[in-house]
Amino acid sequence: MKFNSWYLSSFIVSFVVAIPILTVFASFFQETTNYYDILKNTFLIEYIYNSLTLLIGVLILTLVLGVGCAYVVSFYDFPGVKFFKWALILSFAVPAYIYAYSLTAFFENFGTLYSILKSLFGSGEYNQSIPKFDGMLGAILSVSFSLFGYVYVLTRASFHYQSQNLIELGQNLGFTKYKSFFKIILPSARPAIVAGLALVAMETLSDFGAVSFFGIATLTTGIYDSWISFDDLAFANQLSFFLLLFILGLFFIENISRKRAQYHSPIKGGIKEKKKIKLNFSKGTLAFVFCFLVFFISFLFPVLQMLYWTIIFPKNLFDLNTFQLFSNTIYLVFLSSIVLVVFSFISNYGNRVTKSKFLNFLTTFSITGYAIPGVILAVAFITFIAWFDNTFVKAFEFNSIKKIFIGSVFGLVIVYFIRFYSLAYNGLKTGYERINRSIDESSYLLGYSKIKTFLGIHVPYLKNSVFLIGILITIEVIKELPITLILRPFNFETFATTAYIFASQDLLEAAAVPSLFLILIASTFILITSKFILKD
Partner 1 sequence: MRKLTIISLFFALISSFTIAAEVNIFSARHYDSDIQLYEKFTAATGIKVNVVSGKDKALQKRITEEGADCVGDLYITADAGRLGAFAAKGMMQNAGWSKAIKDAVPAQFRSAKWTGIAKRARIIYYSPERVSANELNGMTYEGLADPKWKGRLVIRKSNNIYNQSLVASLVKNRGKTTTANWAKGVVANMARTPKGNDRAQIMAVAAGEADIAVANTYYHALMLSGKKGAEQQEAAKKVKPFFPNQQDRGTHINISGAGMLKHAPNKANAVKLVEFLLSTEAQNHIVNNTFEYPMIAGVTPNDLVPGKEMNFVMDTKTSVKSYGAKQADALEVMLAAGWK
- The secondary structure of 451-513, three-state, reads HHHHHHHHHHHCHHHHHHHHHHHHHHHHHCCHHHHHHCCCCCCCHHHHHHHHHHCCCHHHHHH
| Under 8 Å between Cβ of 42 and 217 | no
Cα–Cα separations (whole angstroms), residue 53 to 42, 49, 63, 362, 400? 16, 6, 15, 33, 45
Question: Rounded CA gap, 467 and 16, in Å?
Answer: 24
* 54 binding partner 1? (CB under 8 A): no
Of 504, 527, 530, 532, the residue at the interface with partner 1 (CB under 8 A) is 504
Of 53, 360, 383, 426, the residue at the interface with partner 1 (CB under 8 A) is 383
Residue number, 265 or 383, with CB nearest to partner 1: 383
* 514 binding partner 1? (CB under 8 A): no
Of 253, 304, 307, 346, the residue at the interface with partner 1 (CB under 8 A) is 346
Q: How far is the CB of 279 from partner 1 (least distance, A)?
A: 42
Burial of 448 from C-beta contacts in 10 A (0-12 / 13-18 / 19+): middle
Of 4, 33, 172, 229, the residue at the interface with partner 1 (CB under 8 A) is 229
* 45 binding partner 1? (CB under 8 A): no
Q: How far is the CB of 379 from partner 1 (least distance, A)?
A: 6
Q: How far is the CB of 485 from partner 1 (least distance, A)?
A: 5
- H/E element holding 277? strand 277-278
- H/E element holding 527? helix 508-535
Q: How far is the CB of 228 from partner 1 (least distance, A)?
A: 4
Q: How far is the CB of 492 from partner 1 (least distance, A)?
A: 8
Q: How far is the CB of 61 from partner 1 (least distance, A)?
A: 21
Burial of 233 from C-beta contacts in 10 A (0-12 / 13-18 / 19+): buried
Count of residues engaged in binding partner 1, rule: CB under 8 A:
63
Of 15, 36, 252, 334, the residue at the interface with partner 1 (CB under 8 A) is 36
Binding mask 275-314 for partner 1 (x = CB under 8 A): -------------------------------------xx-
Question: Rounded CA gap, 302 and 313, in Å?
Answer: 16
Residue number, 44 or 335, with CB nearest to partner 1: 335
HSE value, Cβ hemisphere, 13 Å, CA-based, for 310: 19
Q: Where are the alpha helices (DSSP H) in 76-185?
A: 81-87, 96-107, 112-121, 135-161, 164-172, 177-180
Of 63, 70, 261, 339, the residue at the interface with partner 1 (CB under 8 A) is 339
Task: Give me the phi and psi of 418, to 5 degrees please.
Answer: -65, -45
**Angle 96-107/135-161 helices, nearest 10 degrees?**
130
Question: Rounded CA gap, 429 and 137, in Å?
Answer: 38
Dihedral over alpha carbons 415, 419, 425, 428 (to 10 degrees): -100
Where does this chain touch partner 1 (CB under 8 A) — which range of 32-40, 143-151, 267-275, 418-426?
A: 32-40
Residue number, 30 or 262, with CB nearest to partner 1: 30
* 486 binding partner 1? (CB under 8 A): yes
* 110 binding partner 1? (CB under 8 A): yes
* 259 binding partner 1? (CB under 8 A): no
| Under 8 Å between Cβ of 276 and 75 | yes
Of 76, 114, 161, 181, the residue at the interface with partner 1 (CB under 8 A) is 114
* 404 binding partner 1? (CB under 8 A): yes
Binding mask 129-168 for partner 1 (x = CB under 8 A): -----xx---------------------------------
- The secondary structure of 57-75, three-state, reads HHHHHHHHHHHHHHHHHHH
Task: Give the sign of the dihedral formed by CA 194, CA 195, CA 199, CA 202.
Answer: positive
* 397 binding partner 1? (CB under 8 A): no
Q: Which residues pair with 176 in a beta bridge?
A: none
Residue number, 172 or 391, with CB nearest to partner 1: 391
* 53 binding partner 1? (CB under 8 A): no
Of 382, 471, 516, 533, the residue at the interface with partner 1 (CB under 8 A) is 382
* 125 binding partner 1? (CB under 8 A): yes
Of 388, 402, 457, 528, the residue at the interface with partner 1 (CB under 8 A) is 402
Q: How far is the CB of 98 from partner 1 (least distance, A)?
A: 17
Where does this chain touch partner 1 (CB under 8 A) — which range of 86-94, 289-297, 466-474, 496-504?
A: 496-504
Residue partners of 239: CB distance under 8 A and separation at least 6: 44, 47, 219, 222, 223, 226
Of 32, 53, 115, 530, the residue at the interface with partner 1 (CB under 8 A) is 115
* 254 binding partner 1? (CB under 8 A): no
| Under 8 Å between Cβ of 480 and 496 | yes
Q: How far is the CB of 274 from partner 1 (least distance, A)?
A: 44
Cα–Cα separations (whole angstroms), residue 436 to 266, 269, 431, 465? 18, 19, 11, 16
* 203 binding partner 1? (CB under 8 A): no
Question: Rounded CA gap, 11 and 19, in Å?
Answer: 12
Residue number, 35 or 263, with CB nearest to partner 1: 35
Where does this chain touch partner 1 (CB under 8 A) — which range of 106-114, 193-201, 285-293, 364-372?
A: 106-114
Q: Report which residue type is found at 507.
A: L
| Under 8 Å between Cβ of 211 and 221 | yes
Burial of 41 from C-beta contacts in 10 A (0-12 / 13-18 / 19+): exposed
List residues binding partner 1 (CB under 8 A).
Answer: 9, 35-36, 39, 108-111, 114-115, 118, 125, 127-128, 134-135, 214-215, 225, 227-229, 312-313, 319, 335, 338-339, 342, 346, 379, 382-383, 385-386, 389-390, 400, 402-404, 406-410, 413, 485-492, 497, 501-502, 504-506, 509-510
